Structure formats: C-alpha cells, structure tokens
Structure 1
Amino acid sequence: MVLLLLLAVLPLTAEARKSVLLVFDEDKEFPGLAVVNGSLREAFRSELGADVEFYSESMNLSQFPETGYDGVFYDHLRRKYAGTALDLIVAVMGPSLDFLLRHGEALFPGIPIVFCGADLSDLEGKTLRANVTGALVKRTFAPTLDIALQLQPDIRSVFVVGGTSSFDRQMQSIARRDFKPFESRVVITYLTTLPMDDLLKAVSSLPPNSAVLYLTLFTDGGGLAFVPHEALSLITAAANAPVYVSLDQYVGRGAVGGHVYSLDAHGRHAAEVGLRILDGEAPETISVVEPADHRNMFDWRELRRWGLDERRLPAGSIVSFRTPSAWDVYKWYVAGGATLLVVQSTLIIRLLASRAQRRRAQSSLAERLRFETLLSEVSAEFLTLPASAVDDRIERMLQRVVETLDFDRVALAERQDGTNTMHVTHSWTRAGVAPVPMVFEDEALPWLGKRLAQGDPVRVSRLDELPEEAATDRRSLAARGIRSLAAVPLLVGGAVVGALGFSRLRGERPWPDELMARLQLLADVFANVQARRRADGAVRDSEERRRRAEEEAQRQRDELAHALRVSTLGELTASFAHEINQPLSAIMTNAQAARRLLAIEQAKPRDIEDALIDITGDANRASQTIRRLRALFRKEHAEHAAIDINALIEDVLGLLRNDIQGKNIVVRFTRGQALPTVLGDPVQLRQVVLNLIVNAGEAIALAASGPREIRIDTSQPEVGRVAIAVRDTGVGVKEPEVEQIFERFVSTKPQGLGMGLAISR
C-alpha cells in the first residue's frame, strides 16, 4: 500500500510548480530594481512557462533605517512563509544578501539562494554557505571618467554626486578607489552630504570646464529618501555642466551617458544560475559568476546640448534618442519602392530558412533527449539487476531501443570463438516485420563479419553503398529484406565478444557520426551486461554445487522458524487486535473531545492540551505494539547486535500482555542486575522467549485449578553467560517426555507442530 501511494505521488511531485521568492533591498518599483525584477521574471518564465510562482518582498531600507527593523522584517518573513514550500530565493542587491546570510538558515533552511546586484566588496569578510551562489556586479566608474576626458579634453574639475544611504556610501567608496589615478589630472570634489536643495544650487553654479559624475542618491544629506532616477532628473535639469553616469537606466534622464552597466542583462545572468539549480544542479557546484555586462551608451540629445563631438566616442558606442534628419525620415520612401520586393523576398526566405533550421534543431534536441533518456534507462535497469533477470530485461531494453530510435529490428549477438559467425542471443522486431535470423554465418556476411571481428563499426545507409568486396553481404542482406543497417562491436577487455545490430526494412536511413557515437554508447552498456553474464555464469558454475546444500538447509531452517513465528502470532491475533484497538479507540474519543472543545468559545487551552497529550500517549502505545509485531514478522535475517536481555523480555511481555491478562495469568519477572549485553539475532531471541511464554500460558490453561503464575528470572551464572529461566504452574511435562521435548515433531499439545523448542534449541 505504501509503495502504491509513493508511486501515485511521484508524478505529481515531478510536475509541481516551482516557487521562487524575490527579496529586494528597496521598493521593487524603483526603476533599476523594476528592470531586474522584470528580467528575472521573464527569464524564468521563458524556461518554465506557467510552472513557476513568484513571491516578492521589499525591505525598503531607505525608509526604515532603524536598528530594530532587521528583527521586524525577520519576524514578518517567518510568519508569512511558515507554511510555504520554496524552491529558490533570489537576493537582489547586497543588503538583501546580507540579510539572508544572517537569517536564511533560520527562515528557509536548506533553500538555495542566488544573489545579484552585489559586487566583490559586498562579499568581503563574509562566508557563503554551500547553498548560496549568484552573479556579481562588476561596478567600475573609471571608464566613464576616462570617456568624459575624451569628450571634454579641457576638463579641470570633476564633481562626484551621491547620497548618504549605506548603498550610496558603498558606491562612493568604489568611486574613490577608481578615481585615484585621475587625481593628478583633474580636481575631484565629492558632493555627497548636501540636502537636495543645496545640491541643486551647487551643481547649477559649477566653474567652467567642469563635469559631473552621478553615482546613486537614495537619501540626501537632509535625510530625505529619493528614487535615484528621479534625483538624477532633478540634478541634470539644474546642472550647468555635462552629467555622466555608469548605469544604463540613467541614460535618457538628462545625462550624457558613459560606460554603463546593463541591469537587464545582469538579471538574466542571475536567472540562468537559478534555472540551473531548479533543473537539479547543486548550488555548491555552480561558481559565482561576474559577467561583463558593460557597454558604452550615450544620449544623442545631450551630446548636442553640450556641444560634444560624437566622433570622440569609443568605437562601438551606442547612441540613443537620435533625432532623425530629413534624409533619415524620407530615405526609405525614396528607396523603398525599389527594394521592397527584395526585402520581402529575403525576409520570407530567411523566415523559412530559420523555421527549417529551428525545426531541425528542435528535432535534433528532441532526438538527443530521447536517446539520453533511453541510455539512462538502460544503464539504470542493468546497474543493480540480479543475474537471473538479465535475459528478460535485455529483451525489454531492446524493445525500447526499437521504439525510441525508430528501427525495425535490433539484435544482440555473441561471437563464436575462432570464427566470425554471430549467434543471436536476444532480439526485438517491430510488429509486422520478419524476425531476426538466429545465426549470421561467416559465409553469408564475410565482409561485415570481418569488420566487426576487427572491432570496427559498420554502417550501410543503402545496400548499393557497399564496396565490391561486399557483394556477398549485399545479396544476403537483400535476401533478408534489409535496406539499411548499422552494427557496433561489443568489446570486453579489448576483445570482440559480439555485436549489436540495428536494421531498417521499411526504407533507407542515414547513419551520421553523432548517431553512431550514440549507438556505440548503447553497445558499451550491453557489452558490460554480456561480460557480467559470463562472469556470473562462471562464478555460479564453480560455486553452485558447494552452496546448494548449505543454502537449502539454511532456507528450510529459516522458513520453518518464520512459519512458526507466524503461526504463533496468528494464534494471538485477537489479543493483538485488542492491543491495537484499545489505544485507537482512546485516540478517537480524545480527538472527538478536542473537536468539541475547539467549538466552544470559552474552551480552556489546558483541556485541549490534555486531550492532545492523551492522543500522543495512545498513539505511542499503538506504535510500540506494531513495532513489536513487525520485528517478529520479519522473514530475513537480522544482523547480530548487542541485546539487552531484560529489555527484550519486557518487549515480548508487552506484546503478549493482553493475551496473558485474558487468561488471568500473573507474570512475575525478576530482572538480573547489571547483566551484560548478549550478541545475537534479536528476531530469533524474541521467538525463543515468545515460544517459552506462550507454552507456559497454554500449560496453565490446561490446569484445572491452582495458582496461575509464570515466573521469569534472568541471571549471570558465570562470566560470559546469561541465563533465562521460565517457570509456570501449568500441567507440566511427564517424566518420560522430558528428554524428547527438544526433538523435532514432538509435542504434548493436540494441535502442536512439535517444532517450537526444537527451533529454540
């Protein structure tokens, strides 16, 4: 039943939607974070479609800088996601990563974490757990200043604008490091602590030959929170000098541009890492990446506004927002009539070619996936398969090969020693196709046999491709209706032991190198199977006679012992049923009581807790009974282990308690003190004690009157020995029968088998 339930659950698990939590340091609607958010979601959905569900959390650190906010946010996540099963967490920006490094294991134990938006400085002094990886931002401001000096060779002063938040200060630290080499060429001033009004006044009255480099501004010197993009718009509107930036989202807000970082590309890189984890890769096997997502991007309108020569831009620069000239506007009207037909034709041809190429790629990918699945299935089938089941499973796997790779016939053949003749041991043929001949003689296929004997694979797309020396082979194949064929040798220890052959009778087919390489992989698997069959056969032949008698004797002893245990336990079925039903009834009664208490508004929590405690106790009691029964029902041998004899007797008495009480028998158990443990089979020792106590109870039941008592004593008569004595007040054993009671099939009970004491001895 458990196995069926597991099999029923597995498909549902495989198709379950993936749950991804996105954690942002600020409001995810901030323009930069919105770009990362969009690229992450788009990348995940492009691969997973509708099979992904997103959760989002924004820390809003610039609005809540208080010290205790970390604990508040922690408690919020703990309560909100207590019942949510997450597959992946994406930490966007360094503060989000810091929070998850502090609290991730407590909040989301073992859940993989992928970070983005953090640079190397964010990781300094931190240790990433095995479940943490991601994509680093390579923040650099020096190239942007270098471009500014190319566009404005007469620059004398550079003003660096930023804010006062922790992230703003982090960016300023990187900028100070990057700008160090430029301090001998220009005067660099940092405007990073001014309130916004004072900052706008400062940038509006900069000296001639100046330039502004904008970093980020989440909080101004007066403590007011800003969206960095909106702050940039205010600064560029007020500045009397060109403003340069290092983020692509800032281009188009009044800045000239610069060597900018693409947030969209960065988000996609992080999503690629996350998809690899969702696809089954372990986070610890995926290295942290630092993709180079920079490009030189500029606003044509700002270049014109400040009179900057576009020819000074670095090669390959992207110039956006260009206002088209009259030629740019009307040139397609002039030339369009002449080129429209050509463009349309070219487009159609390209679309058709792209469609065909895409279909070929999809077909190739699907075929590769089918083969890899097939190879994995075949390898897994034979990995732990017992030798006795190999033949049947080979037939099944050959069928899978035919169905998956669209062959008509496939045959596994063994080479006869000293010849090129192949004897078919296993084959599979598609319905409606003639079966494979059992023997391919050397005389019928000399060319093919020679090639395979040399260890060379053979492929024949069409019979007329065969060389002249293969004329006999061509006639033999044609006579068998084979129109296309491939055969791969089976190599074991460098020697050819057989071949795996594939054929088509319905038509011809090509055998490209990629397909032949795949078939060779299949052949290697079957070669290993053949080698294993040979080795197993040799071992079985050499050991069979020696082991047969021992195994048969042991099997009979085990079967008899198990039958006796089952028989004994079967006689006690009613007792065991009562032993289990009693706690189950109590559980039901307490559960109903708890439900009634929950329905009462003034119900006392202590009453509900008492009911739940009773349910737990009764469940443990039923569990103990089932555990004891399972231990005795086990058929296989248990490993020898150190056994506490007193505890083992207590265990058996607990199992028989209801039966003993039903017979009004009193058990007096005197436990030996400080007894050593005994090395033995716990199942067999339980059976011995069970037999003795059950026999004692049955003997007492036959007594007409008198005390009804069983006494059990454990002791250590000498070093290295432990004794168990079982006495009862039953009818006893007659003197002539005392010497015979340990012999097989001797019993004083009318329905007894006479094997209990014999097996015990």
Structure 2
Amino acid sequence: MPQRHLIVSRGLGILLGLWFGVGLLAGAAPVEAKRVLMIHSFGREFAPFTAISSAFRTELAQQSPGPIEFHEASLESSIFPGAATDKPVVEYLRAVFAGQKVDLVVTIGGPAAQFWARHREELFPSAPMLLAALDRRRVQGIKLGTNDTAVPFQVDLRGTVEHILQVLPQTTNIVAVIGSSEMEQFWRFEAGREFLAFADRVPVTWLDAMTLGEMKKRVSTFPPRSAIIYGGVARDAAGVPYERDRPLMELHATVNAPMFGFFANQLGQGIVGGPLLPVQEISRETARVAVRILAGEPPAQIQIHPLGPAAPTYDWRELKRWAIPESRLPAGSQIRFRIPTFWEQYKWRIIAAGGVCLAEAVLILWLVQNRRRLKRAQSEVREMENIRKQADAEIQRQRAELAHATRVSTMGELAASLAHELNQPLGAILSNAEAAEMFLDSSFSSLDEIREILADIRKDDERAGEVIRRMRELLRKREMDLQPLGLNSIVEDVLRLVSADAAQRGVSIRTDLAPGMPETNGDRVHLQQVLLNLTMNAMEAMAKTAPEKRSLVLRTGIDGPGTVELSVTDSGPGIETDKLPHLFEPFFTTKPNGLGMGLSIVRRIVEAHHGRVSAESNNGAGATFTVRLPAAAQGSGFRVQGSGFRNRVQGSGEDRSVRVLGYHKVKPRLNFKT
C-alpha cells in the first residue's frame, strides 16, 4: 500500500518577524505566538481550498492582535480516500506536537473535518476546532461538541440549474463535470438528488467516470444548446490528482458549450459566471471567528449562518463567446473583464468636442420630457387608485347587501316560528292579566299574589321583547364589529330563534357545548348568521328523512392551541363526494330552488374572522359543517365562558308549559276544581 503523502509546513511570516523585532528594539518581553494547526483535506494547491486557505492565512494574520504561528498538514485524501490510512498521520502529528500546546485546529474541507472528529481525542482533546471551507450539508454529518464551531457555506445546486435556464432558456442538455474522489462523489449524489426537479425540463449527463483526457474529448462534441456545470476535478477516474484549477483551464480550451461553476475564484478561468460563492468573504469570516476563539470566546457560542452566493458576477469575454445577451442577466449583475469599446475609451473627448451647450440643451430637454411623463404617470396612478377604491367600496357594499338580504330571507322563513314564539308570552300575559282582574273582583284578593302575577307579566313581556330584539339585530344593516364573545352564547341565541321552527319540522336539536371555552374576537350578528344558515340548511336537508330520525347536533369545542370550533351535524342523506369541493362556491347549490349564496356568504364571513369552514359527509348518515376560529389572545380581551350545558329541544309541536301558563297561575288562587 502506498504511503500517504503528508506535507507539514511550519514557520513565522514576515509580519511575525517584524512584530518580534520591534518588541526587542523597544526592550519589551516578546509576546507568545498563538499556535494554529491547519489540516487540509487535499494538498495545499487543490481548488477551491487553496484559495480559501491562502486568503484565511492572510486575513488571520491581519486581524489578529498578536502574532500567529501557522502549522499545516495535508491528508492527500484525493489519492488515499477513507480512514484506513489515518494512523500514520495521527502518529506523525502526535510526534511533532509532543509537549506543545495547540491553540486552535482549523480543518479545511469535509474530509479533514471528519478526520479530526475521529482522532481529536488521540491528539489534542482540549484544543478548540474550527470547521472551515465546507458546505452546510457536510457540517450536518459531524457531531460538534462544546469546543467546536463551523463557518459553513451554502452551495445552491438547484439555483445553478435555474440560473442556466434563465440566461440560456433554449438549453436542452446539461453536462456535469466532476471528479471521482470521495468528496466529489458526495457532491455527485447531492447534485443528482436535487437535479431531479429538472428531469422533465432538461436531462443531466455526468462525466465522473472519465479521465481528464476523456473529458476533454467529450466536452468538445456536445450538441447545440448544451451547458456544462463544472463541479471540480481533484482526482479523475484513473486516480490522477490535479491541483488548483488546471482541469478547468484545460477543459475551457476544448469545450464547445458554456461552462458554469460555483466559486468566485473560478471567474476568469473559463466559467461564464453567475451567483458565485465569495471565497474572499468566506475566508474573512473564518478569520474573524478564529480571532474570537483565540481571544478566549467559547466556540459553541459562536453560531455563523451559512454564507450563500454573492451578487451575480460574469466574465464579459465568456458572454461574448457564447452570445449571451446582457438583457438576460439578473438585475444587479456585475460584469468583469470587459474590453472597453471605442466610445468607452474616448467618450469624454467626444463629449467635449460636442460642446457643453449642446449637452446642456439635450439634458434640459430630457428632463422636461421626463417630468411630463412622470406627471402623466402619477396622474394615471392616482386615477387608477381612485377607481380601485371605488370598486372595492362597491364590492363591500354589495357583499353587505347580500348578507343582509340573506338574513332577511332567513327571517322570512322563520316568520311562522317567530310568530308562534311571540304568541306564547303574549298569551301568558293575557291569561295573567285576566287572573289579576279576577283577583281584584274577588273578596279574598291578596296583594302578594297580585305582585306575583305582575312579576310573571313582566317576565313574559321581557321574553317577547327579547324575541323582537333578536329579530331587529339580524334584520338591521350594520358594519362588522369584532368584540370578544363566546361561541356557546351564539349557539344559545340561534337556538332560541330556530327551536320553534325545528319543532314544526319535527327535528330534534341537541347541543353539546364544551365548558371553559376561550372566547373569539367576532361580530355577534354575523356569527349568528353563519350558524343560522348552517342550521336552516341542515333542517332542510332532513326534509325527506323519517321524522323519528331527524336529529341535529350543535357542538362547540377547542381544536388545538389557539383555535375554537363550532360544528353542525345532521342526520340527512349526506353530501355527494364530487360536490364537497364546490359547496362554498358562489351560485353552487344542491337545492332545486336554491340560489347558491348561503354557504358562500358563510365562508366569506368566517374568512373575514380569520377562520375557515369545512364540510364532510358522516360515515353513517348526514353531514357535518365545522367552523374554526382563532381564540382571542390574552391581551385582547380574553375571557373564558362559563360552564357549558347540554340541552335537548324535542320536536313536540308546541311548548305547552308556556301555552297554558295563565291557567296554571289562576287555578290554585281561585280554587278551581277539575
């Protein structure tokens, strides 16, 4: 087995020497240098790590307040992949740094980070570790301790393909050039997975199983409308390693299609450009974190968000070579390596020859025209805004009119039931008044009993007044007024309106109201209209159901944190599956004579309360409509409703306890015999 090639460089830079020289001349004690060990995944000259590590050394030396002593080791993972040959490297590092303190370990690339994670306990368990020059995906596979941190970047694989299709919309074939090292095969897998999103638009061909020579031949024979993504070649299929960007430059000399890359240091060496990872900024950020760690800051407390691509930058020469117009480039793009035109070289002399007066005249004319256009545009914008506001106001007015008309229509359907509900207290008032007259004419009249009769008359009058008040609230036109209210009270209000109608229809209504319900911010009348529409629809749906099976359940409850719900369940025939998605659409109806606006209005009112409404058919029979609304927050008038109750209203024809109320009051007082 070949021995792993290990490169270890050690020394102080010119800056460090000057630091000590000045210190000695001043007679001061020399400052102890901080020892930084840099472990490379490949050789120091492998791209893109060579650009990042070189810039990092420079940035750290400039930012550090004290001298830095750099030590570097290279694993040469591109030639000897895996952990099988780690032992010689571990033994060498242990021997070199025996008895010495390492202040910081900086790993360059994913393989180096994995190597250090495997062997840090054998080498320098107390030394802090800084993971550099690796993608966010690689960091996720490494368990970081309290003495570790990372400065990751984010390679936008999918965004690279999207960018190619933006600047070259006619592309029909993409070729990915990448090496065969362990790290490059990791990216081969990640890119293949993300490129699946474009499988229907453009196929992707991979050249990772070729030597560099085979790649050079292949990239010169691509069909028209092809594009190349260069992912880096640290080692080709024959096991030959390549340093720096040599493969990129050799491929560039033979390609017959534009190439795109990922790192800013590749610009000017053959790629077209685009949103590229800023190598200099990555190195600068890594150096800043290193300075913080060397100053004593715990690494685990330093959290760096992954650095993404910078503003799009392009090579002007490549744009011209592949006939890519600048109009297709993203907004804010920068273009480098531009060869100045004749106008760009001599424009100031041309302008001077044209004369200052002519330039001023042209400028004034342009400003006047531009001002006119600006005023015209502003006038048009104001006019369109006024039209839009008027249209919005008209839409809101029509919606309010429609909701009001629906309430009036519903009250018309309930007219007979409401008249019946009014007759009950009015009949009781009449009976109690007659009883009072009889008491007054009798010789055994008692003021206490007359007071009781008058109290009963007052209660029945209040009951009739409450019925009329509820009718007026529903019939009145009004804007939506959101106030904290309880769904249980909404159910009770609507139940009083429809109970008589339900009795006439032979429908049994049962309520199941949850105790301790949070309130919701809503408009009482509009929410009453929602429940009234759903209740009336449910009773109409049970028209053909056997009378003994006509049942309606009104429930309230809590649907998870911050949400309250109200449901209406009937025992009718249910709803056909194909009609469920269209129930809440305007003008869609399942009734022979329906307009299709009731449920549409329900949805609009619920959505205006920031809620949602849904419908489903039950497993047995009937359907359930559910309204979910946000609960009122603690700071906005939150209150909890009182304990709930369970009630049942039977469809028995009429309320006999009210109908003969006057008779029950008079009988014991006048000693009637039956």
| TM-score of the two chains, using structure 2 as the length reference | 0.46
More helix by percentage: 1
